[in-house]
Structure 1
């Protein structure tokens, strides 16, 4: 097996073409391979993981003299592919998101702590999105401690928790910091440091329940109308219509398998990622039509059993919530709905609100949305203005001015 940079590079390029990658993407790989070849020329031309690590660390652009996000992404991506070939003899083309999940601590104790925390979350089978959120804030806190000269958790105190939260105010809205606290608390409990957990309470951050409005009738009409036309790709139309008509969460749309669709019964059955409860939702004729068009005519040839896959190679399942958000936002824009944020959270509220306006009982709405607790549905009462007005009491005549 040729283990030179040029030898491995030719195998990688061939695999990229065989997998259906766009020529522009292959060109970026070839550009990185040429740069790696130059680095290896003075060292016999052979590739090693140590050489790859040195190459991936070359993140300063010689043109600007500054850190380059694009260079870090391109070089790091190539090194991962080369390392997979050296280790397994196969070219692994799995996707990797930009940014790598944020900064990571470097001290020995903190690295072990992060590993133990990630293993614990995996053992408890937490949803991928939950593990990402919990892991990111835990690593960010440990990096914050390291920046302050703290390398051991026993040297941290409650004040460090408050200082960490205060450091986020420059980039986070105060109303959003509650979500940081929610994602932070499980990690601090895992460490067994009750004093750090108590410090979170001293921050006094409260959850705000913003009332999310329903889609205006005209906006929904435009969206559904656009999804019925060939102007919207069948995959994107089906994803948007699923969110609009069923209120499915983004994580559940991503996790749908081809076998989850019952074409005769016109339903989709799944186990929810958030609650782990089974759920079956009905599908409208338009959803079924666009899904069938996607599966039969437009879905790339892929062994991946997930219903929705990437439209460009590698043709694997959609990556994350951001992917679904981009799809829906693009559909909204093409439908002429530019003043509404295209998110599954909005569409979930929209589906619930429209069911409520149609006099569907709350237990039924809770079942359709797959709520683990019926009380979770009570939030949607706040958007039914007509019925709320029926609850307003008349002011006694004697109390009027």
Structure 2
């Protein structure tokens, strides 16, 4: 096998063109291939897995002297493709995400620890979004320790925890630290450091329950009209209406498969990504019609059996919740509803609130939303102003202020 970068690069580019990749994407691959060729040429001229690993580790920008997420993504992507060819004789051009959560620990102890943590989460079948969130905060903590000369967990103490959380305030709102702490505790449990968990608890970070808005009747009508018109694609209409009417989580929309749809009964049946509980939901006529229009007329030919696919090559399932957010955000814009942050969390909240206003029992709403804990549904009572007012008792005559 010819393992020069020129030879492998030509095979890669040909495979990208065959898969229907955009010219701009192929151009980015070619730029990275040229940089890899220059790197390998200085080291004997033939590509090896070890040279690829060395190239992928060059994540510091020579221009700024700082870590470059773009450089890590580009270099890691091309090395993954080259490695697939060297190992199997075939080029794997499946989509790669920008995941990784920033810098990786550099020391061998911390690198092994992160690998073990990733393996443990995979063994427990945690949802990909959960694994990503847990992994991101644990890597950030270990890199934080390395930057301060701490290269062994034995030297990490309560002060390290407090300083780490304080450092996050540069890029996290204080109100968001609850989510950071929630994602951090499982890692500290994994490394069996109860003293560090106690330090986290001492910070007193609490969850804030802000009252979320809901769509007005007018805005909801605008959104539905846009989805049923030609200004929004069938795919994006189906995604938005599905979130609007069922309150499905973004991860469940991404994971939805063709076999999950019961066209005769107009229902979908899934295993939820977050709770791993089964859930069956009815589909409205609007959602069913848009799903049918997408699958019959718009959906690209693909061996991937997920319902919603990327519009451009590779035609695989949508990457993650951010893909759903981009879809709903653009649909809201086209509908003329621009004063609301239109993610699936908002649409989930909106669906629950409308069910509550229609006097649907909380237990039923909890079942529709797939809550593992029925008490989670109580949050939605905070936006039902009319019903809350009905609960207010009159002030007794003669009562003092």
Shared fold (TM-score, shorter chain, > 0.5): yes
In the alignment, the residues of structure 1 paired with residue 28 and residue 345 of structure 2 have an alpha-carbon distance, to the nearest angstrom, of 36
1:78 counterpart residue number: 78
Shift of 1:396: 2.1
Shift of 1:156: 1.1
Shift of 1:53: 4.0
Q: Secondary structure at the match of 2:398?
A: helix
Change (3 A) 1:52 1:124: closer
In the alignment, the residues of structure 2 paired with residue 383 and residue 328 of structure 1 have an alpha-carbon distance, to the nearest angstrom, of 22
In the alignment, the residues of structure 2 paired with residue 67 and residue 361 of structure 1 have an alpha-carbon distance, to the nearest angstrom, of 52
2:217 counterpart residue number: 217
Shift of 1:44: 5.4
1:121 counterpart residue number: 121
Shift of 1:115: 1.8
Shift of 1:64: 7.5
Shift of 1:366: 1.2
Matches within 5 A, 1:249-398: 249-398=249-398
Shift of 1:70: 3.8
CA offset digits 1:209-253 (Å, max 9, x no partner)? 111121121111111111111221111111111000000000110
2:399 counterpart residue number: 399
Q: Secondary structure at the match of 1:380?
A: helix
Matches within 5 A, 1:212-251: 212-251=212-251
CA contact (8 A) 2:69 2:102 kept: no
In the alignment, the residues of structure 1 paired with residue 247 and residue 99 of structure 2 have an alpha-carbon distance, to the nearest angstrom, of 30
Q: Does 2:12 correspond to 1:12?
A: yes
CA offset digits 1:273-302 (Å, max 9, x no partner)? 111111111111111111111111111111
In the alignment, the residues of structure 2 paired with residue 178 and residue 65 of structure 1 have an alpha-carbon distance, to the nearest angstrom, of 33
Shift of 1:60: 6.3
CA offset digits 1:133-187 (Å, max 9, x no partner)? 1111111111111111111111111111111111111111111001111011111
Change (3 A) 1:66 1:140: closer
- Give the RMSD, CA atoms, in angstroms: 1.9
Q: Secondary structure at the match of 1:398?
A: coil
CA offset digits 1:2-25 (Å, max 9, x no partner)? 211111111111111111111221
Q: Secondary structure at the match of 1:293?
A: helix
1:197 counterpart residue number: 197
In the alignment, the residues of structure 2 paired with residue 357 and residue 214 of structure 1 have an alpha-carbon distance, to the nearest angstrom, of 12
In the alignment, the residues of structure 1 paired with residue 383 and residue 16 of structure 2 have an alpha-carbon distance, to the nearest angstrom, of 50
TM-score (norm 1): 0.95
1:109 counterpart residue number: 109
Q: Secondary structure at the match of 1:270?
A: strand
Shift of 1:96: 2.2
CA contact (8 A) 2:228 2:237 kept: yes
Matches within 5 A, 1:19-38: 19-38=19-38
TM-score (norm 2): 0.95
2:180 counterpart residue number: 180
In the alignment, the residues of structure 1 paired with residue 375 and residue 42 of structure 2 have an alpha-carbon distance, to the nearest angstrom, of 67
